[in-house]
Every structure is written in C-alpha cells, then in structure tokens.
C-alpha cells in the first residue's frame, strides 16, 4: 500500500550540500508530487518540504539517503490512511 508523506529538510550551508541533495531528489522524482523550497541566504540555510506518494519502504529509503548528507536534517510525517 502507498502512503502520502511530507518530508521536511533543513540544509545548513546549502551551497555545499545542495547538489547532492538535488541528485537524490532526482533519483526519487517518480514519487514526488510537490516541492517547495525556502532559501534563507542571510542565515545560510534552506528549508525544503517535499510531498510524496509511494510505498513506505521507498519513502523511508529516500529520507534515509537525504539524512546521510552532511549538514542536512530531515524528518518525514506519514498519513495514517493507505492509498
């Protein structure tokens, strides 16, 4: 069963982590339904939210890969409802 989830990520010093972050996002583009980025260059941060629809294991794999990037904090919130 598929789930809807929202992934929230904070990139500290996005200049150094953004390419790797975007490469992983591209790898999972087939489950992404929406993405919003909020650059905060004055704070050297970027806040990104990604809405996904996919299998729980695949979403967890996506979140895990993002979380391994140095300077990236990430969490996911899953819907309770199966799609």
pLDDT digits (tens, 9 = 90+) for 1-22: 899 999 999 999 999 999 999 9
**Per-residue confidence (pLDDT) for residue 43, from 0 to 100:** 96
Residue 83 within a domain:
no
Please state the pTM of the whole predicted model. 0.95
Q: How far is CA 19 from the centre of its chain?
A: 13
Task: State pLDDT tens for residues 62-80.
Answer: 999 999 999 999 999 999 9
| Cβ atoms of 11 and 17 closer than 8 Å | yes
What CATH number is given to the structural domain containing 32? 3.30.70.1150
Q: Average model confidence (pLDDT) for the chain?
A: 97
Q: What per-residue confidence (pLDDT) applies to 82?
A: 95
**Number of CB atoms found within 10 A of residue 4's CB:** 17
Q: Which domain holds residue 6?
A: 2-78
Question: Which tokens sit at 12?
Answer: 């500290």
Q: What is the mean pLDDT of residues 45-53?
A: 98
Domain count within the chain? 1
């Amino acid at each position: 069963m598929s789930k809807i989830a929202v992934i929230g990520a904070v990139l500290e010093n996005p200049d150094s982590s953004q390419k790797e972050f975007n490469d992983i996002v591209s790898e999972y583009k087939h489950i992404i339904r929406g993405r919003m980025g909020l650059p905060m260059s004055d704070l050297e941060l970027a806040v990104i939210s990604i809405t996904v629809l996919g299998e729980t294991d695949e979403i967890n794999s996506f979140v895990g890969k993002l979380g391994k990037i140095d300077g990236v904090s990430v969490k996911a919130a899953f819907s309770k409802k199966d799609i």
